[in-house]
Structure 1
Amino acid sequence: DDVVTRPDLLKRDFTADRPGVRFVGDITYLRTGEGWLYLATVIDLFNREVVGWSMAEHMRTELIGDALTMAHTHGRIESGALFHSDRGSQYTSDEYAKLAGRFGVRLSVGRTGVCWDNSVAESWFSMLKNEMYYRQSFATRRRARFAVMQYIEVFYNRRRLHSTLGYRTPAETRAAYYAQTATAA
């Protein structure tokens, strides 16, 4: 069985020595006046940047596949990278394993029912909900999609400071890494 054979390769080591090599992801749901909106993310452990995300009215494997595809299309995933998630059926599906394989991504899953095995993804959703989602109501999925996109692309990746990153933003941390490697070369 696919679920049994997929190992936990991350083992709660939520660090990466460079961008594009270690990721976590998960799915959350957001209530709107029209019903649920589901959000899947891909977070780079190097700088906590959300490099891939997708929203839909369903939780099918396509939702998480679209988030991983976004990260890959934007050149944010190196071949051989590790992607870690919980054991949700979408993440343990053959369909997702095939997509990840096409991108050269190795898959890792935490233990069943142990949220700490994917705590970076879990805490990111908590942050999203506390800093944006719970502060307003969304009559439509379209409005919620726009607010989430704005939170990720305008605020979180570019303006939100992180103690983990020495009180820099994800974008500043990535830029500093590439500036340093360019200088070293």
Structure 2
Amino acid sequence: MADNGVLPSMGSVGDSFDNALMENFWSTLKIELVHRNSWRTRDEAENAVFTYIDGWYNTRRIQKDLGWRSPDEYEKAWHTHQAQQAQAAIVQPEPTGAR
């Protein structure tokens, strides 16, 4: 790591990079992306990590707490439900009798 100018730790005790959630995230990223690929340049690697985080990890991965849906699917369903409720809340005026 030292030959490539990489530090062995990203954080210090007490910050968010030392807690179990971040450790789990980095472990998942390494298993699913880093150990399965190689890149010719640092830019290629950075773009791959960005694409993984933005395009897969956050938006398409199904989650138990979202009813086994991805965040994209959950948000789409939520917005559809909100639009349906808003449409149902619109009250059409009753036609009045002829005058």
Fold conserved between structures, TM > 0.5: yes
**Which of 73, 76, 79 is the matching residue for 1:172?**
73
Q: TM-score, normalised by structure 2?
A: 0.55
**1:50-89 matches, cutoff 5 A:** 87-88=14-15
Contact 1:161 1:167 in 2 (8 A): yes
Report the CA distance shift for 1:167/1:139 in structure 2 as closer, same or farther (over 3 A): same
The structure whose Rg is larger is 2
Query: What is residue 70 of structure 1 aligned with on the other side?
Result: none
Identical columns (%):
36
- Normalized per residue, the structure richer in strand is 1
The runs of 5 or more residues in structure 1 that have no matched partner are: 1-30, 38-58, 60-85, 92-112
CA RMSD of aligned residues (A): 3.2
**Which of 50, 60, 69 is the matching residue for 1:149?**
50
Matching residue's letter, 1:181:
Q
| Greater relative contact order (CA < 8 Å, ≥ 6 in sequence) | 1
Matching residue's letter, 2:66:
L
Query: What is residue 131 of structure 1 aligned with on the other side?
Result: 32
Q: TM-score, normalised by structure 1?
A: 0.34
The runs of 5 or more residues in structure 2 that have no matched partner are: 87-99
